[in-house]
Structure formats: structure tokens, C-alpha cells
Structure 1
């Protein structure tokens, strides 16, 4: 049976309208993919290596600073890994100021080995403490800085400092504190020889100051 023309037009119009309102399949958005470039901000930065303080040596330093009231708060000698390197090196520096006389009895060969290591950090006060130690032993700055693994982030490369006629114990203690707390800037690697000198200097300083 034939439909009237008006009915056929109405059906055709309804078909077009229904096609307009047919729900479309919207694709789910894909999660953003990190670019391949290593310099892109999408790529996560590696987490810093957890510190591993040097056992009894770190504990001995923290205990001595706590007993001398240079490091306020609880005694952290039982948990050196939670001690703030900034707070400890500042306390060690104050300790050194009060016990400068001890410096003249420390081993010169061990002090020189630590000085030859270079700067354990690019932080300003630590850098100049290390530079003064090198100046005492007449170690050229350009020789030390040229082989330094962290020179690209240092603002004081090859900068000379005045030479003092004595070892400054506050400088030495600030540096030793960073070593025993395993807080040297990465990617510096402490050799067994340097570690032995650090431990001996710290032990002698503590014993001579009591």
C-alpha cells in the first residue's frame, strides 16, 4: 500500500532528525605519555639517595655535641640518619670555635688528605672552609677545582682565599660533620683512605676536647 506524499516526507524528516540526535561514541581521553627526552619536565626526577651515616663515628659526634649543649633537643646519637646536616655542621662549627687549641695536636697528614679531597658541598660556608684548609697546605685551587665532580654547580670555582698560619678547627669540624653524616653532595665518592683520615681526626678531636 502506497503512503501519501505528506506521510513519506514526514517519515523522512523524522529519520534525519533522529540521526542528528543519535548519541555519538566519544573516545575516552588517553593519559598523557611522558616524552622520550630526558630534559622534559614530564619525566620524574630521581629521588635523592638516602643518607647512610657512618655508624659509631656519626653517633660519637652527635653525642659529643649534645653533651656539650651545642646541639639542642634530644640526643640523636641513637638515630644519626634523622639528624639535620645543616644543624649538625653549624653545631660542629661552634664546637670548633670553643676548642681551637685541639687543632695543633691533630695529624697533619690526615688533615691534608681531607683537604685534598676537595669541597664536600657547594654550600658557601662549607666551600670556604674547605678552601681555607687547602690554603693552609698550599694546595692550588685550580688543581682541585679542575677535577671536581660538582664544579658545574659551584659559584666559587678557582677562587682563592687568604692563607692562615694555623688549622682552623671550626672549618675542620664543619667538614668532618658532613662526611660522617654521609651528607656530601652527589656524585662525590669518599675513598677508604679519606674515610680513615676523617674517622681518626674526629676521634682525636673528641678525645682531646674532653
Structure 2
């Protein structure tokens, strides 16, 4: 009897007795339950379609197949302890579980770093650091030094530079040697980034970083099957005792041992130090303190407040430093009190101090001074000295012989008594 006749028989019995239809496996003998020998070609195809649909619907443990393979390779090599290994797929997304295994592998296989693609390493680190953790920042700096990237250019384009206390800092030569643990730490942070796990919208250039990161993971998988190079010496162990990465890799917070400038503020919620321009905390998005009003800030003579953005500018600023709006009309130089030696630029009319050899605004050279009899200019620092000064009051340079001779001649001239 065919399968279709069994189905029709079951349907007829359920309609006749007004009872719910029993599950199909109970109507068939155990030996006939969808076995390929007793099922038709159509029913076999249906069963195969259901199996393939179920496999497609099952969620992937991680969006990057390379990351899944890399973690599985670490499992097979015994880098996961029994307490850290998990039967679920959460091991691929749990930083606390996978962190120690990745770093231990990187320290054991210090020899594979020289075989990784320099081009892919450059693409991963040329956009900045993945976060503000001190170890991640230092690893990024070492990798940029390895691929010969300018640290200043990278920091100037990094979106985290406003809150990074290590921005534009160049490592010492003794600290700039890149290792396998540096690139593995960076890949670890990118693989477990919330943008990767959630599949959300990514900023420009992020796709290139992730593509190179996945290529590097593939290279690490291949290199993990090779034997370590015995000719390559192990990295030298530092003499100073340091805390283990497994203990403070994620607990390490950005350093707060930074000099606070005027206007900087500490977040009351997470104790993160923010610059004065930050309206919200860069760490937890907590609202910052109420800004100090312009009336509470001491303004010196000539300073001005921008009418567009209320930014306080120094008197020398022609335009607002914040919004580039034109400043107020300048006060004419004849209304400003000038001290001895100060001079007005012949080209732009800017009043300069006596110590300025060039105009601070247009960089035109200072005109020749009109000296009183006996006065002399120091040839070393250009300081204007009185006739009685035998050495410069500023740099202790001796008075030129020409000025001394002129002074002696003027002293011998007859002057009409008063």
C-alpha cells in the first residue's frame, strides 16, 4: 500500500469519529517512517527540503566564518579550559571566554607575525584604534610603527582622538616592536565589536577594515598548522613585573593620570575625564555640567565675544576661532596705549609689541626703530637698551663697539645748561 493511501485512510477515520488526527508517525510502522526505501521520490524531496530549510534557519554563531574557524582551531589545540568552554554558540561572542585563549595562542606563536600580510595590517590600523583601552591603543601604535605609518596623520583622522590621552604620542624605540599578540588583540576587538555582532550601519571605511581583518584571520588559521620556527628567538621578557593580560585586558580603563585644563570636567557617573568642549560624557553619554556663563570668565582688554556662537576670543583674533565669523571692528591704533618700543605695522596697521620682529598678523618685517641718542639694539636678541646699559638686560650680551663709541661722543658734546 502506498503512502498516499495511508494518508487518505487516516483522514477518513478522523472525520468519521470526530477525533483529532493522531501524529503521522503513529500511523506508520516504525520500519516505514519516511525511510528512503519506502518513500516515493516526491516525498523524499520534500523531506530533504525541510531539512535544508531547518539548517538555513539556524542562526550562525558569528557573522564572520573566519572567526568561527579560528576559535574552533583554538579549541582543537586545547587553548580553552573545561571551565571556559561552552557547549552553546556564545563562546564565539563572549569576550571573557575567548580572550585568554586568543592571547595565549598569540604568545605561543610569536613566529607567525612576520608571515602576515603587511598590506592588510596597514588597512586595519590606518584608520585609528578600535577603542580607548590602553593595551589596544599601544598595540595599534606598535603596528603602525611596523608598517611605517605616520602616527600624527592617523591620530588627526581618528574619531576617538578627542578623548584619547595617548593621541599623537609616539612610543619609544624599546616599546615599538610589534608582535603577534598586538595584531590578535586588535582582531579580537573588531570581531567582537557591537557593529559586527548586530549588523548595524557602519561608518565609511569600516568595510575595508573588516575585510582585511578577516583576511588576517584566514592567514592565522593557515599558519597555526605550521610548526614554529626554531631559529626565531623568543621575545625578550621585560624585567619589570607586569600584570597579566588575562586579568586586566578588559578591566583596563583609559588612564586618568592626565593634567586637567581649565573647563575640563569629570563625569559623576563613570568618573571619566572629558574635555571642556564635550557636552556629554564620551564614555557613558551622561550630560555634562552646566557651562559657565561668559560673565563668569575674566576677559582682558580687547577680548571679544562672538555674536554668532558666544565664543570668547582673544583680542588678536580677527575671526572667531569656533565658527569663523568676522570679529568686531578694530579699534584704531592711536586709541590704544602703546608702550616704549611697540610699533604699528605699515601694511596692516596691527599694533605689535617691541619684542616682535615681524608683524603677528601679516608677517611683514618690523621697520627700523627710531632710537634716541645713546640707545642701542642688542645684536643677539634685538632688545632695546638704554645708553647706560653696558650689557643687554635680556641676554647679557655686550654692547656693540659702534654703540659704545657713539655714546662716548655724545657725552662729550656741550649741552646748554638749563
TM-score under structure 1 normalisation? 0.64
- Map 1:111-122 to 2 at 5 A: 111-122=121-132
1:56 aligns with 2:65: yes
Instruction: Check if 1:194 corresponds to 2:204.
Output: no
Match for residue 142 of structure 2 among 121, 124, 132: 132
Whole-Å Cα distance in 1 between the matches of residues 168 and 87 of structure 2?
37
- What does residue range 88-99 of structure 1 map to in structure 2 within 5 Å? 88-99=98-109
Structure 1 equivalent of residue 158 of structure 2: 148
Q: Displacement of 1:81 after TM fit? A: 6.0
Deviates more, 1:195-204 or 1:163-172: 163-172
The answer on whether the counterparts of 2:107 and 2:180 sit within 8 Å (CA) in structure 1 is yes
**Who is 1:66 aligned against?**
75
Does the aligned pair in 1 maintain the 2:62–2:93 contact within 8 Å? Answer: no
Aligned length: 158
How many Å apart are 1:60 and its aligned residue?
Answer: 2.0
User: 2:167 aligned to 129, 143, 157, which one?
Assistant: 157
1:78 aligned to 2:93?
no
The structure 1 residue matched to 2:190, chosen from 157, 176, 179, is 179
Residue 119 (structure 2) pairs with residue 109 (structure 1) = yes
Q: Which has the larger radius of gyration?
A: 2
Q: Tell me how large the CA RMSD over aligned residues is.
A: 3.0
For structure 2, the 5+ residue unaligned runs are 1-60, 196-200, 226-418
After the TM superposition, list the runs of 4 or more consecutive aligned residues in structure 1 that deviate by more than 4 angstroms. 163-167
Q: Which residue of 2 aligns with 1:15?
A: none
Match of 1:34 in 2: none
Q: Tell me by how many angstroms 1:93 deviates.
A: 2.2
Tell me how far apart the structure 1 counterparts of residues 105 and 217 of structure 2 sit (CA, whole Å).
12
Whole-angstrom distance in 1 between the partners of 2:141 and 2:123 = 14
**Rounded Cα–Cα distance in structure 1 between residues aligned with 2:63 and 2:191:** 5
Q: TM-score by structure 2 length?
A: 0.34
Q: 8 Å contact 1:129–1:175 — kept in the other structure?
A: yes
